[in-house]
Structure 1
């Protein structure tokens, strides 16, 4: 609990400094692009909130090692491995000229460092044929690096609305902390609690009204640490089903896979080309902007969108947390989430959004028809 409180207070104060003085000290920290397809804010906002999360995590780990008995060596090794992915993302936040390929490569190098420093290499996925292939060390290392880099990038992809990636990450870290506590893994649990506190300290300034963004640096750091903790749980505890790592993080992972499929095979464009067809963007444009509760506020509509995705992610996170030893439950949790995601996506794209998704208001099409009738 010391980790959670200390990281929360540290991140809260550091983020306040960024919000208060960031634009004055470094104008490069501001996100001036408010018109591109993936932007949903109306004013320039600092996008280096990830720096506060990293600094708070480092401070907490060092102080916690002295007063709380945190496993200092492993924690410092984890932070060292995450340095390159975070640095590449932070440079993108400041310069806007680091390509997606360069950032992904940085995440792969960081993941490779993690396999060496933490001995965190996936050697089983609880599927016989693949498990045999994983006995070949180079393949196991490559598989691990792809998973870690992929999840790091995935958290960045879902970072499109106020509090969306942060809230989803808190839910996933809470699950990781629970499983680690149940398995008796103090290292994983302490880092998970530290991340929850740090992200919460940031979220206060990011949700519902954003005064700061987590940025690519923060998203890559959060995703990298999340992936390394999931790999560590699977590697260090044979009773933790390997499918848990994919099931609990299926929302960012599937969002990435689906985005690749949509861009490459449906639109025939580059995978790295941004678009406004993510599920969170569609919900924002076709659901929350029509809600009475956000009728006069772009920011409130933005924040309300995140709630839908948090609830959707719980379809897989909740059963994965309490049945992390059961392959059958984990498989059904993943299938359930994917089915719900695709069904909701299809309904919104076809302008057949379910009525229940518009609380406290009639369906926007019906509302528009009623307004026309009254005007006559």
Structure 2
């Protein structure tokens, strides 16, 4: 638990410093684009929250020898493997000039580094014919790289509202930590707890009223560490079903796959072209935003944060059963299918303007006057 506590404290303090010093670095770190197709926030704040999370991970790993009998080098090696993915994201946050393709290549480079340095290469997905192919080393490495890079990018895709990606990844890391504890995998459990604390320190600055955003760097860092812990958990523990990884992380995975299908197949556009048709965006625009006074900054921020609650609850459809049925492929497959069914039904209902009334928040918000001297803005 010291990993969790130290990760939380360091993350909180580093982000406190970033927020308070934003006047010095705001020209680079602020997200001033308030009108982009995927932008739903009300005011500009720094988008380098991932720096605080990465610093918390580094400090916690450096301090581990103080309480761990034999900490080993795996923690440090995994952190070093994350540098390309994290670096590509942070540079994009600061310059807005790193293409999606370049960031994907950075994630692939991190995944390859983990395959070579940590031997984190999947050799099974609990499908007999596929497992035979994965035992061929080049195929196993290529499959692992695609899976890790895909999940790394998927976390960035769901990072659209206050507390959305951060809280969902906290739920996933909590599940990973529980399963790792159940099979006595100290390394995976300690890394999961460290990430749980580090993200928790960020959430206090991001939800419900954001003073900072996760940014691409934070999303890629979290996504990469999550993906690698899932690979290592399955690789090191034969009793953990490979279907656990799919079930516990199905929300970001399916959001990505569905987005590719929607863009390429349905609309005939490039898979990487941004749009405003993600489920979380539709929930905001067609459910939560009803009755919104666009000129009231507090109300806009409140509605933004409410959106995340819908997706937190939806993600639990698969995370909860995956956590307690980690060794049952049938239960894990059922949980995965249940999430997919719930996602598709909710998406179709919103698109067809047939959202159930019980999903609707009250449309009336109390009108709060802006602070003295502040004028309402769009």
Partner residue in 2 for 1:350: 352
Deviation at 1:26, TM superposition (A): 4.6
Partner residue in 1 for 2:40: 40
Q: Do the aligned partners of 2:49 and 2:218 also contact (CA within 8 Å) in 1?
A: yes
**Structure with greater helix percent:** 1
Q: Do the aligned partners of 1:52 and 1:202 also contact (CA within 8 Å) in 2?
A: yes
Distance in 2 of aligned mates of 1:329 and 1:135: 26
Deviation at 1:267, TM superposition (A): 1.2
Deviation at 1:360, TM superposition (A): 4.5
Q: Do the aligned partners of 2:11 and 2:202 also contact (CA within 8 Å) in 1?
A: yes
Q: SS where residue 205 of structure 2 aligns?
A: coil
Partner residue in 2 for 1:369: none
Give per-residue Cα distances to partners, 1:189-247, cap 9 Å, x unaligned.
00000000000000000000111001000000000000000000000000000010111
Distance in 1 of aligned mates of 2:192 and 2:300: 33
Distance in 2 of aligned mates of 1:294 and 1:67: 51
Deviation at 1:72, TM superposition (A): 4.1
Matches within 5 A, 1:1-376: 1-69=1-69, 71-290=71-290, 297-360=299-362
Distance in 2 of aligned mates of 1:155 and 1:342: 19
- Show structure 1 runs of 4+ deviating over 3 A: 291-296, 359-362
Q: SS where residue 21 of structure 2 aligns?
A: helix
Give per-residue Cα distances to partners, 1:143-189, cap 9 Å, x unaligned.
00011000000000000000100000000000000000001011000
Deviation at 1:255, TM superposition (A): 0.2
Give per-residue Cα distances to partners, 1:278-322, cap 9 Å, x unaligned.
000000011111278999511111100001000000000000000
Distance in 2 of aligned mates of 1:204 and 1:303: 13
Q: Do the aligned partners of 1:104 and 1:153 also contact (CA within 8 Å) in 2?
A: yes
Q: Do the aligned partners of 1:289 and 1:295 also contact (CA within 8 Å) in 2?
A: no
Q: SS where residue 190 of structure 2 aligns?
A: helix
Q: How many residues of Structure 1 are paired with residues of Structure 2 in the alignment?
A: 362
TM-score computed with the length of structure 1 as normaliser: 0.94
Q: 1:194/1:338 Cα in 2 relative to 1: closer, same or farther (>3 Å)?
A: same
| CA RMSD, 1 decimal | 1.6
Deviation at 1:112, TM superposition (A): 0.4
Q: Do the aligned partners of 2:92 and 2:98 also contact (CA within 8 Å) in 1?
A: yes
Deviation at 1:25, TM superposition (A): 3.1
Distance in 1 of aligned mates of 2:247 and 2:157: 18
TM-score computed with the length of structure 2 as normaliser: 0.93
Deviation at 1:70, TM superposition (A): 6.5
Distance in 1 of aligned mates of 2:70 and 2:284: 41
Q: Do the aligned partners of 1:124 and 1:242 also contact (CA within 8 Å) in 2?
A: yes
Distance in 2 of aligned mates of 1:32 and 1:263: 27
Q: 1:361/1:96 Cα in 2 relative to 1: closer, same or farther (>3 Å)?
A: closer
Q: Do the aligned partners of 1:292 and 1:360 also contact (CA within 8 Å) in 2?
A: no
Give per-residue Cα distances to partners, 1:20-44, cap 9 Å, x unaligned.
1033235200011100110011221
Distance in 1 of aligned mates of 2:211 and 2:70: 32
Q: Do the aligned partners of 1:247 and 1:316 also contact (CA within 8 Å) in 2?
A: yes
Distance in 2 of aligned mates of 1:193 and 1:28: 31
Distance in 2 of aligned mates of 1:269 and 1:134: 32
Distance in 1 of aligned mates of 2:23 and 2:81: 29
Q: 1:188/1:118 Cα in 2 relative to 1: closer, same or farther (>3 Å)?
A: same
Uncovered stretches (5+) of structure 1, i.e. residues with no partner: 363-376
- Mean Cα displacement is larger for which, 296-305 or 230-239? 296-305
